Amino acid sequence: MVLLNKGEYMEKVFDIDKLFNMGPVVMIVWEDFDDGVISYISENVLDVLGYTQEEIINTEFRYAKIIHSDDLTRVKDEISSYLDKNIDNFSQQYRLKKKNGEYIYVFDFTRVIKNDNNDIVKIIGYFYDQTESVLLKQEIEKKHKRLELLIDSANLGTWVLNLNNKNVEYNDNWAKIIGYTLNELEPLSYDTWAKRCHPEDLDKALNKLEKYLNGESDIYEVEFRMLHKDGYYKWILSRGKVLEYDKDGNPLILYGVHIDIDEQKKIEEKLRRFVKYLNTAQAVSKTGSWHIDINTNNLWWSKETYRIFGLTENSFVNLDKFIERIHPDDRQKVSDALKQAIDGKVYDIDHRIIVGNEIKWVNEKAEVVFDDDKAIEAFGTVRDITLERQIYEKLKNENRLIELLFDLLPGFLWFVNKDKIIQKQNKNAKERFGSKIGEKCYMSIFCGKFLSEEHKKLLNEGIELPEMKCEFCIANESLDLKSEFSIEIEDRENKKFYKAWWIPLSENEYIHYLIDITEQKEAESYLMELAVKDHLTKIYNRRYITERLEADIELCKRANRTFSLIMFDIDHFKNINDTYGHNVGDNVLIKLTDIVKRRIRKIDIFARWGGEEFLIMLPESRLENARLLAENLRKLIEETDILRDRTVTCSFGVTEYYEGDTVDFIVKRADDCLYKAKFLGRNTVVSI
């Protein structure tokens, strides 16, 4: 055994202290917990917290004052609990305030030193910055929440097929689409679908699948009929894509959705999640230190460095042994970085090492010591960052999966922030509308065609206001009320109809989702003519406007909106019928409705209430504007030659929605105004 004299021993202690101070782990010593005075802290606290060693080892400095106020009570309670239970070694996680005011997340390990009487004589410990890992975990959780919300917002049947063993999983809605519960269909298998698929469609569906698996199409997509529980066949749109492959690169797991296209306008944007997400734990950084004599290549490793590299502690190591552990593809990169460090450049590098059959990622940092401009030694740290790398790779795969799921949606999807800027979109949205990320949604999706005339004029003048939006947009209401809203939109220019949803994700972001319902609307058009239109004038009938009044009253209650109502009738219409006959009277009604239709807005609802009485509902119009419209209509009708030898006039009653109104209340109020207009001599407007 070689004995060291005091000077040599102190030099070794100094070297070890110097090595430790270069790493990210801060050593700390207290005399007791009560006064919080720190008797020792390693110099690298300056790198971690921004304080010097002298600033902290000061009788006036208190460690508790830099612990985040939201964490302090918990930290104290945990320490008290450990001490009460005679637990001498424990760890904690909390936030510390740096000298510059910034907070970081730290991992703290503490050891309590006691004497023979079980009295505390000293507390030692260490902590290190784990902010990067915590923030990464928070980012992953945010993406999880976003995808879960998206899938839960749709009402789709999902299936997952193992192409090797034909095992298949269905969600509840898959069974619900055909009138069953999953329990009623058990035992679940591939045949659960195949036996219920229409015999004429089964081969087509299987051929489509075979062509997709052979690479002849980008996605599995097929329409077929399935037998409903009630005995009839229902049309289903099935879409799927392979997301997992076996080790040989062959398709293994096929994910898909079933969409009920019998009643497509009833589809709501609620997806069932069929993918399991990774569960990540907070990584605790393990850091070792090392020293190398550049002249002799003698290498010293700390205990943690041996563990990271998978070697027995104190076994012989040198530079060659270190190089052997580096992944062959990274050796040149590490060698170049070492040479550059000797030339005076910073040594900070991520690379792979091979430990048995495992490949690890490490981060190395070092400082080279020079003597007369000659590099003589280097001190460094090595940190196992494998878990961080794995999390980044899994996050990358997760993002890829999200993109694939977005593209499986049957409609058009955008993530939009409160400022109406598109943050993300699916493939269907980009291809149909040509919308672009980073653009205002009202311009990028519909090219500004649904802006108000005032806002269109301002845009043409180069003026853009924060409140600009499509006239039908209820995104602000959705965000304010934290509730989903949906309406139908007509794009007359392109002869398209859409069902639109606004789904809030947070205070500042929402999902905007459209489904093309043009075919359904065309099919409904004929029925609507029969059910809601007046056969003579071709405007809406009493039944339809009553239903619309009921719906708009509910919307006013929920979203703090308003509307106005105009009721008018033809003055002395009975005399016109008696004088000219009912055919002429009918022509008067038709001409009158044409005049009014050309004057009102597209969003206004014009209906024949009965006989010669009419109603006009004006969404988002206040009483004064409604009265002005009524007065304009009155003059226009009076000045138009509806009959060659007689002037046709109308009397008008106008009112606005008030809180607590029902359909009967507001119609009665408009009728009372109309009655008063008659009393005042007809051909006039009365409002209340």
The burial class, CB within 10 Å (0-12 / 13-18 / 19+), for 251 is middle
Map residue 274 onto helix, strand or coil: coil
Q: How far apart are CA 148 and CA 140, in angstroms?
A: 12
The secondary structure of residue 272, as a DSSP letter, is: P
Residues contacting 478, CB < 8 A, separation 6+: 484, 485, 502, 503, 504, 510
Nearest to 499 by CA among 410, 559, 561: 410
Residue type, 430: K
The burial class, CB within 10 Å (0-12 / 13-18 / 19+), for 682 is middle
Q: Residue 15's pLDDT is what?
A: 58
Q: What number of CA atoms fall less than 13 Å from residue 178's CA on the CB side?
A: 29
CA distances to 541, 607, 662, 666, 667 from 546, rounded to whole Å, are 9, 10, 10, 11, 10
Q: Residue 144's pLDDT is what?
A: 60
Residues contacting 654, CB < 8 A, separation 6+: 564, 565, 566, 567, 623, 626, 627, 630, 670, 673, 685, 686, 687, 688
Which residues are paired to 618 by β-bridges? Answer: 564
Residues contacting 343, CB < 8 A, separation 6+: none
Measured over the CA atoms of residue 523, residue 525, residue 526 and residue 530, the dihedral's sign is positive
Nearest to 169 by CA among 153, 152, 192: 192
Nearest to 35 by CA among 69, 73, 64, 75: 64
The residue whose two tokens read 């801060």 is 26
Q: Is 78 a catalytic residue?
A: no
Runs of H (alpha helix) within 116-263: 131-152, 172-177, 182-185, 190-194, 199-213
Low-confidence ranges of the chain (pLDDT < 50): 1-4, 6, 9-10, 12-13, 265-285
Runs of H (alpha helix) within 6-85: 6-21, 45-49, 53-56, 69-84
Which among 102, 612, 639, 659 is annotated as catalytic? 612
Nearest to 292 by CA among 531, 19, 20, 585: 19
Nearest to 562 by CA among 636, 489, 661: 661
Q: How far apart are CA 234 and CA 109, in angstroms?
A: 63
Residues contacting 281, CB < 8 A, separation 6+: none
Residue type, 510: Y
Q: Residue 85's pLDDT is what?
A: 93
Q: Residue 150's pLDDT is what?
A: 58
